[in-house]
Amino acid sequence: MKTVLCKLAVFSFNKISKEEVKVVVVYCTLIINGRRTYESVPDNLKPTVQDELYSMGLDTDGKPLSVDEPVA
């Protein structure tokens, strides 16, 4: 379910290629499932991956944002 939300958010708000959308979805899914870290994301995709995780209420570790943590 979270993967679908990530995919929809990428298509809705960012002007990136379909190939990049697929890669961002994969990285979001891997981060959420604890298989990869945000640091392992290529630099050119980090802002998009971070935006997508934040749009789902998650931090860059794939954990829920705390109430006190600001969303960029």
pLDDT of residue 67: 73
What are the backbone angles phi and psi of residue 58, rounded to the nearest 5°?
Answer: -120, 150
Tokens of 70: 């600001």
pLDDT digits (tens, 9 = 90+) for 12-51: 555 788 889 899 999 999 999 999 999 999 999 999 999 9
- How far is 27 from 22, CA to CA, in rounded Å? 9
Burial 17-49, CB ≥16 within 10 A → b, else e: eeeebebbbebbbbbbeeebeeeebeeeeeebb
Give the residue extent of every domain in the chain: 2-55
- Residue 13 CA, chain-centre distance (Å), reads 12
Residue 63 has pLDDT above 70, yes or no: yes
